[in-house]
């Protein structure tokens, strides 16, 4: 399988609007971070993880011509509000695109994108995304791209975010803690993705870098990549300070497994 990072930034992105800090002014392309999201490509098809507000630009940069399914980790704006950019895929294919999400998030998604899910047909000559909601409950296994996919529930303040394990890849964003259940589900993976904001100050709903390192070491994957990074961390500096086997992700990074 192939994992591509479409975006590796937080809800503000990097550079942050109006900010003149050294990371926001950095000439290192790896310090330019769109809102987070990823692609997983397998022989059976291509899975999009989350739909950031920059989704169109991300898909163009990654030269994506086809999608077979979408996984929504949670309905916060930086992970959801690019949903309309999926319209081109269903317009070209003439088929519904399955959107896998927790049953707990259904009402929120339907409310934010009521025109997509209200059952109405768009006026002749216009279009809207044809998305088929595929809700799952808790951590029940989902059949996706011919594979068993395990949802990975992690706390994010009052909300539960659902990462996933597919094959030898585990992907978790916007988490604060890995439960014993999630650690068991991640046993034997080759590649782990974790969110990490910055060094130092703890955040109430996200890992900081130190917490992400501890979580990665608890999982024990040979390769861990940190994403959902802020402008308080420069890529090159973070790369130097991280332990062996843990590295910062960046927009456009491709990882084969």
Output phi, psi for 84, to 5 deg.
Answer: -65, -20
Please tell me the predicted confidence (pLDDT) of residue 160. 98
- CB atoms closer than 10 angstroms to residue 199: 13
Tokens describing residue 61: 């940069």
Please tell me the predicted confidence (pLDDT) of residue 117. 96
Tokens describing residue 12: 């503000």
Tokens describing residue 145: 């791209």
Please tell me the predicted confidence (pLDDT) of residue 133. 98
Tokens 């987070």 belong to residue: 36
User: Helix (H, G, I), strand (E, B), or coil: what is residue 239?
Assistant: helix
The confidence band for 215, taking pLDDT boundaries of 50, 70 and 90, is very high
CB 174 within 8 A of CB 87: no
Tokens 């590649």 belong to residue: 191
Rounded CA separation 130/88 (Å): 10
Burial class (CB in 10 A: 0-12, 13-18, 19+), 173: buried
Burial class (CB in 10 A: 0-12, 13-18, 19+), 12: middle
The confidence band for 7, taking pLDDT boundaries of 50, 70 and 90, is very high
Work out how many domains the chain is built from and give that number.
1
Please tell me the predicted confidence (pLDDT) of residue 255. 98
Q: Read off the DSSP letter of residue 252.
A: T
Average pLDDT over every residue of 48-53: 98
Please tell me the predicted confidence (pLDDT) of residue 39. 98
The confidence band for 113, taking pLDDT boundaries of 50, 70 and 90, is very high
How does the average pLDDT of the chain come out, rounded?
97
Q: Strands 142-144, 147-156: parallel, antiparallel or unpaired by DSSP?
A: antiparallel
Tokens describing residue 93: 């294919």
Average pLDDT over every residue of 202-227: 98
Q: Tell me which residue range forms the domain holding 35.
A: 2-256
- 86-111 pLDDT, tens digit per residue, is 999 999 999 999 999 999 999 999 99
In angstroms, what is the C-alpha Rg of the chain?
18
Q: Read off the DSSP letter of residue 106.
A: H
Average pLDDT over every residue of 192-202: 98
What's the CATH number where 208 sits? 3.60.15.10
The confidence band for 228, taking pLDDT boundaries of 50, 70 and 90, is very high
Residue 182's closest CA among 220, 214, 152, 142?
Answer: 152
Please tell me the predicted confidence (pLDDT) of residue 105. 98
Query: Sheet harboring 159-166: ordered strands across?
Result: 142-144, 147-156, 159-166, 169-171, 191-195, 223-227, 246-248
126-145 burial, b at 16+ Cβ within 10 Å, e below that, comes to: eebbbbebbebeebeebebb
Residue 238's closest CA among 226, 228, 252, 251?
Answer: 226
CB 208 within 8 A of CB 197: yes
């Amino acid at each position: 399988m192939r994992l591509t990072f479409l975006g590796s930034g937080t809800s503000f992105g990097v550079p942050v609007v109006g900010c003149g800090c050294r990371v926001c002014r950095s000439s290192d392309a790896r310090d330019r971070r769109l809102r987070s999201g990823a692609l997983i490509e397998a022989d059976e098809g291509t899975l999009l993880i989350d739909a950031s507000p920059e989704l169109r630009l991300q898909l163009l940069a990654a030269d994506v011509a086809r999608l077979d399914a979408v996984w929504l980790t949670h309905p916060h704006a930086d992970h959801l509000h690019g949903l309309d950019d999926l319209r081109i895929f269903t317009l070209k294919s003439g088929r519904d695109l399955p959107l896998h999400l927790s049953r707990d998030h259904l009402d929120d998604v339907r409310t934010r994108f009521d025109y997509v899910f209200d059952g109405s047909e768009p006026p002749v000559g216009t279009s809207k995304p044809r998305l088929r909601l595929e809700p799952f409950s808790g951590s029940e296994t989902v059949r996706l791209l011919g594979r068993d996919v395990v949802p990975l529930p992690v706390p994010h303040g009052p909300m539960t975010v659902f990462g996933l394990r597919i094959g030898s890849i585990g992907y978790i964003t916007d988490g604060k803690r890995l439960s014993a259940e999630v650690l068991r589900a991640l046993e034997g993976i080759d590649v782990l993705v974790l969110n990490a904001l910055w060094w130092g100050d703890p955040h109430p709903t996200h890992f900081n870098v130190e917490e992400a390192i501890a979580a990665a070491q608890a999982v024990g994957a040979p390769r861990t990549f940190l994403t959902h990074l802020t402008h308080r961390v420069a890529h090159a500096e973070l790369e130097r300070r991280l332990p062996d086997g843990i590295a910062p992700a960046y927009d456009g990074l491709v990882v084969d497994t």
